[in-house]
Amino acid sequence: MTKAIILGASAAVPTRESANTHMLFPGRERTVLVDAPGGSTVLRLEQAGVDFNTLSDVIVTHFHIDHSLGIPSLLVEMWLLGRRRPLHIYGLAPVLERLQTLLGLYDWQAWPNLFPVVFQCLPAAEMAPVLECADFRIQASPVHHGIPNIGLRVEFKPGGQTLAYSCDTAPCQEVVRLGAGADVLIHEATGEMPGHSSARQAGEIARQAQAGSLYLIHYPAGEQARHDLVADAQTTFPGKVALAKDFMTID
């Protein structure tokens, strides 16, 4: 299935209508979650119509609260609900080290009959392989966020459609290369500040990458919402621009 499900689109401060940014790539063979903020990810999956037991892989992009705090609750909820299938968790070395330290505070390895959790360390290199299966091929590249962080490129099979995700980053050529020729670029639009990008800057990255369409994500929502982000991005990118929304499916 060549689609992405947006589980949350908000920047660091969520609202009643929008959770922190995270997303899902559901396939027939594997289902991949990208990040797990606070709150119940299992409930979020249920609201999206996805059985948590189909979840096979979690990519943790970086160790900021709004992207990784939900990992312990994800594991404990699946354990209490009787999961037995192994779960693979991917991340850069500093991310996995801190994540395992956090889990250790909950004495997670003493939970009886916990399903297997497999940590897989990713190299801090451009277009590093993450996983490949019959559904998709996923690669990762470091991006510019002040702490170790990765963006992603997903090639869906068998058609070869591609999606790139900037994650939290200042404008950088790594994302241009990650999104080169992609059918869809999902780019953050927190604002023009260190380690982040504005909608206008996201549009410029999409233009340089020659992406087919641009979806803005990780933007201030609710009372913190700013002016017309789509219009801002359209000043620098001539293609389709849209705001990513919670539970939106991007085909």
Q: Give every CB contact of residue 12 below 8 A, 6+ residues apart in sequence.
A: 20, 64, 65, 66, 190
Give 92-145 pLDDT, tens digit per residue: 999 999 999 999 999 999 999 999 999 999 999 999 999 999 999 999 999 999
pLDDT for res 224: 80
Residue 73: its pLDDT value, please? 97
How far is it, in rounded angstroms, from Cα 58 to Cα 241? 27
pLDDT number for residue 2: 79
Residues 9-68 have pLDDT tens digits of 999 999 999 999 999 999 999 999 999 999 899 999 999 999 999 999 999 999 999 999
Tell me, what DSSP letter sits at residue 116?
P
- Dihedral, CA atoms, 157, 160, 161, 165, nearest 10 degrees? 80
Confidence of residue 222 (pLDDT cuts 50, 70, 90): confident
The 3-state DSSP class for residue 91 equals strand
Is residue 1 predicted with pLDDT exceeding 70?
no
Tell me the residue type at 151. Answer: G
User: CB of 187 within 8 A of CB of 163?
Assistant: no
Q: Annotate 138-175 with DSSP letters as a single string.
A: EEEEE--SSSS-EEEEEEETTT--EEEE--S--S-HHH
DSSP per-residue letters across 171-189:
S-HHHHHHTTT-SEEEEE-
The C-alpha atoms of residue 54 and residue 31 are separated, in whole angstroms, by 6
| Rg of the chain in Å (alpha carbons) | 17
Least confident of 27-31, 144-148, 157-161: 157-161
Model confidence pTM above 0.95: yes
SS3 102: helix
Give 164's pLDDT tier (boundaries 50, 70, 90): very high
